A and B are shown apart, each in its own frame.
Chain A
């Protein structure tokens, strides 16, 4: 069971949509995971197997977290999110 973070600036809107996209992509791949959505500052203090966020926020987050960060351009794009998940699964 993986733990993923879906991160946006405020942790209330975009990150929820990203969480839904990750859950859909994970389900399609038969990957078991728990996804939590949160704002940038909370994400800095939370450990996870992988963090998904925007390019801009990802650059800031990379310096503050040990977890691998996967930048996503379109949070609602199931294919792009699926590709990032595939990269993580390697």
Chain B
């Protein structure tokens, strides 16, 4: 289920970026290229942080950028960006970005639950922080 939405070429490893805004845009780029999302969705994710605060930082070093379901989103999708150097997201260092694109309130639930279980588990979360894409692909 998870692999259906978080495809191999939707996962990137980048050394460092200048800002959290840039990180969100880079993380979402594979979804944009696949036409799963529109350009407007990237801005909506950034605007949400400005408006609602940095609650998308769900644990140390991990953020889940997303915005409203179905607005600027054509299909369900997930994309992952791993950074060697954390960027600052309003006082929170982040090095793992998981972009969520949802079309409604239910279609993405199973996939998001599956990856959340991996991120909640200290042992598997270590693989994400270690930026080891090959190991992460095995986990999915």
Point out residues on A near B: beta carbons under 8 Å: 8-14, 16-17, 20-21, 24, 53-57, 73-78
Given A12-B66, A56-B52, 13 further pairs, Cβ under 8 A: A9-B55, A11-B105, A12-B105, A13-B102, A14-B56, A14-B64, A17-B58, A17-B64, A53-B55, A54-B52, A75-B55, A76-B58, A76-B59
In the complex, what residues of B have CB within 8 A of residue A55's CB?
A: 53, 55
Q: Are A13 and B112 in contact (CB under 8 A)?
A: yes
Check if B119 is an interface residue, CB within 8 A of chain A.
yes
Q: Are A56 and B55 in contact (CB under 8 A)?
A: yes
Query: CA of A21 to CA of B55 in the docked complex: distance in angstroms?
Result: 14
Q: Are A14 and B66 in contact (CB under 8 A)?
A: yes
Q: Are B120 and A20 in contact (CB under 8 A)?
A: yes
In the complex, what residues of A have CB within 8 A of residue B48's CB?
A: 9-10
Pick 28 A–B contacts, CB within 8 A, sort by A.
A9-B48, A10-B48, A10-B67, A12-B66, A12-B102, A12-B108, A13-B56, A13-B64, A13-B100, A13-B112, A14-B58, A16-B109, A16-B113, A16-B116, A17-B58, A20-B120, A24-B120, A53-B55, A54-B55, A57-B55, A73-B55, A74-B57, A74-B59, A75-B58, A76-B59, A76-B116, A76-B120, A78-B120
Query: CA of A78 to CA of B102 in the docked complex: distance in angstroms?
Result: 25
Q: Are B60 and A54 in contact (CB under 8 A)?
A: no
Query: In the complex, which of the residues A9, A53, A75, A76 contacts B51, with contact meaning CB atoms closer than 8 Å?
Result: A9
Query: In the complex, which of the residues A8, A56, A57, A76 contacts B119, with contact meaning CB atoms closer than 8 Å?
Result: A76
Q: Are A16 and B120 in contact (CB under 8 A)?
A: no
Query: CA of A13 to CA of B116 in the docked complex: distance in angstroms?
Result: 10
Query: CA of A14 to CA of B119 in the docked complex: distance in angstroms?
Result: 13
Closest-by-CB residue of B relative to A24 is B120
Query: In the complex, which of the residues A10, A17, A24 contacts B69, with contact meaning CB atoms closer than 8 Å?
Result: A10
A64 CB to closest chain B CB (Å) equals: 15
Check if B97 is an interface residue, CB within 8 A of chain A.
no
Given contacts A14-B64, A16-B113, contact A8 B55 (CB under 8 A): yes
Check if B62 is an interface residue, CB within 8 A of chain A.
yes
Check if B7 is an interface residue, CB within 8 A of chain A.
no
In the complex, what residues of B have CB within 8 A of residue A14's CB?
A: 55-56, 58, 64, 66
